[in-house]
Amino acid sequence: MDRGDELTDMRNRLKVLRAERDWSQAELGGRVGVSRQAVNAIETGKYDPSLPLAFKLARVFDMPIEDIFDDGERHDAA
Amino acid sequence: MESDMTLREPGLGELADRRRARRKLLVFSGIFAAGLPIGFFAGMLEKGGDDGFMAGTLPPWFAVLAVAVFLLATVGGGLAWRTRMDELDRRDHLQTNSAAGAAIVIGFPVWFLLWKGGLAPAPDAAWLFGAAMLAGAATYLYLKLQQRV
């Protein structure tokens, strides 16, 4: 349900992508300019990143934003 | 939450994260170091404060100096802090300040009406300030605890 704020049911693959590269939360945070706590909050769904931060994360992992974040609303065409 | 207790060399991101944390600590220490002498010398220079907390007076020169140091620390330090915080910190501080402001905006009319009704003493600025600080601290603590769970 879209409530017009940051409390959407956003899911993300940050933890998996980070583990694949053997990066700590601090390592990822340092690469995109946020704290380890911010990375943890995003991974656990306590905080949805801003669009600029989402783009930075996408660039760091070299993949499209929608391959990292999923708002549960996307329906692939059959 | 996960532990970063590993024996490997820190990566570039981890080094950047440590630098950010050090810069934040430096700014926080600066703000604290500016505020500490104000409280210390205010206690030393206060005259006639035997009737209660903050009941005495301060020399005018010290009051002006203390205001200058306080404004420099809060405004200057706040701006310096803002450049070093990330977007999660910024959101948390915004909500903290909103809660502190709400404590005054809601607290004063409530207290004022109770005073007019003869149910409470006249509103007191120091208590309202304390309530704002308390509301802000409680909100910040709640946000940080929520992020740790």
> Whole-prediction pTM value?
0.77
Q: Which of A74-78, B28-32, B116-120 shows the highest mean pLDDT? A: B116-120
A6-17 pLDDT, tens digit per residue, is: 455 778 999 999
**Contact pairs from chain A to chain B, CB under 8 Å:** 70
Per residue in B19-54, pLDDT tens? 888 888 888 888 888 888 888 888 888 887 666 666
Calpha distance B76→B79 (Å, rounded):
5
- Which value does ipTM take for this structure? 0.79
Inter-residue contact B124 to B132 (CB < 8 Å): no
pLDDT at residue A56 in the model: 96
* Contact residues for B95 (Cβ-Cβ < 8 A; gap 6+): B139, B143
Say which DSSP state B13 is in: H
Structure tokens at B62: 């010290």
Q: Is the pLDDT of residue A77 over 60?
A: no
The secondary structure of residue B72, as a DSSP letter, is I
- Res. B97: pLDDT tops 60: yes
Q: Give me the mean pLDDT over the B74-100 stretch.
A: 90
Closest CB to A37 among B10, B14, B88: B88
Q: Decide which of A23 and B42 is more confident.
A: A23
Of B32, B144, B17, B26, which Cα lies nearest the Cα of B91? B144
Query: Which of B1, B15, B89 is opposite residue A30, by nearest beta carbon?
Result: B15
Contact B147 A46 (CB under 8 A): yes
Residue B55: pLDDT over 80: no
- The answer, yes or no, to whether residue A1 has pLDDT greater than 50, is no
User: What is the Rg, in whole angstroms, of the alpha carbon atoms belonging to chain A?
Assistant: 13
Longest dimension (CA), chain B: 68
CA angle B122, B125, B129 (to 5 degrees): 135
Chain A touched by B88 (CB under 8 Å): yes
Residue A4 pLDDT > 50 = no
Q: Do B86 and A49 touch (CB under 8 A)?
A: no
pLDDT of A78 higher than 60: no
Contact B31, B74 (CB under 8 A): yes
